[in-house]
Structure 1
Amino acid sequence: MSAKTKQHIEVLFTEFGYEKYFGRMDVMEILGITASPASTLIKKMLDMELIYGIKGKGKGKYLFKKTKNS
């Protein structure tokens, strides 16, 4: 994982933590990036199992996963 990706994930976690859900538009606004890089970042976080999709909040909403160490 690149340093920039790690930094972006840390910024998002600081903003949302485990309690607040977010979508692509939120990622775009907070990080100041366009739709394509925001989607790529979300896909990377899903692949790394850092976040998961939630139901009932609209399409494309995610929460950070709590780990055993958190």
Structure 2
Amino acid sequence: MKRFKFSLLALLLSSITVHANDSTGYVGVGGAWYIKNLNIAMKSEDLYISKDIIKVAYEFKNLTNKPIC
């Protein structure tokens, strides 16, 4: 049962990150909002899962010559 719960948690977390990649986020009156940003590309995603901790490190690339705010 413990293994099932951990697998389910890992699956849910991975599906959440799929929607968040290559996006811009901001906090408004209604909460957090994420918008697809075509000027940002995700170069890498390093996901580490153990029984004690889950860590994710992303590397993004700015596809323009200007800062993205």
TM-score normalised by structure 2 residue count: 0.29
More helix by share: 1
**Structure with larger Rg:** 2
Instruction: Say which structure is richer in strand.
Output: 2
